[in-house]
Amino acid sequence: MRRLAVCLLFGLLAATPALAQRQVEVEILNAHEMRPRRMGSTTVFRLLGDVRLRHGEAVMVCDSAHVDQAANIFDAFGHVRIRSKDLRISGDTLYYDGQSGNGRMLGRQVELHDTVEKAYLWANLLFFNTRDNTAHYMTGGRIRRERTNLESKHGYYDSNQKLATVARAVVYRSDSAEAYGDSIQYFQELDLVKCWGKTRVYDREGMAYGLKVAIDQTNRTLEVEGEAAVDNGANRVYADWLFSNRRQGHTQAKGHVVLVDSLGYQRLYTQHLQYWRSPQLAVADDEPLLFSVDTSARPATDTLFLRMDTLRAWSELAERKVKAAQPTPRSAITDGGVGEKASHQDSVGSGAISKVHDSVVNQGGVSIVDTVRYARAVGGVRAFRRDLQLVADTLYLNGLDSTVTLLRTPFPFVWSDSTQGVAERIVGYFGRKTLDSIRFVGKAIAAIQDDSV
Region 214-223: mean pLDDT is 94
Within a domain: 85: no
Region 223-231: mean pLDDT is 96
Instruction: Report the pLDDT value the prediction gives residue 339, as an integer from 0 to 100.
Output: 35
Model confidence over 298-337: pLDDT tens digits? 666 778 899 999 999 998 887 777 665 555 554 444 443 3
Q: Which domain holds residue 376?
A: 288-317+372-448
Region 356-364: mean pLDDT is 48
Within a domain: 107: no
Torsions phi, psi of 112, nearest 5? -115, 130
What predicted TM-score, i.e. pTM, was given to this entire model?
0.76
Within a domain: 124: no
CATH code at position 410 = 2.60.450.10
Model confidence over 139-156: pLDDT tens digits? 999 999 988 999 999 999
Q: How confident is the model at residue 393 (pLDDT cuts 50, 70, 90)?
A: very high
Region 177-188: mean pLDDT is 95
Domain count, the chain: 1
Region 402-406: mean pLDDT is 93
Within a domain: 295: yes
Within a domain: 396: yes
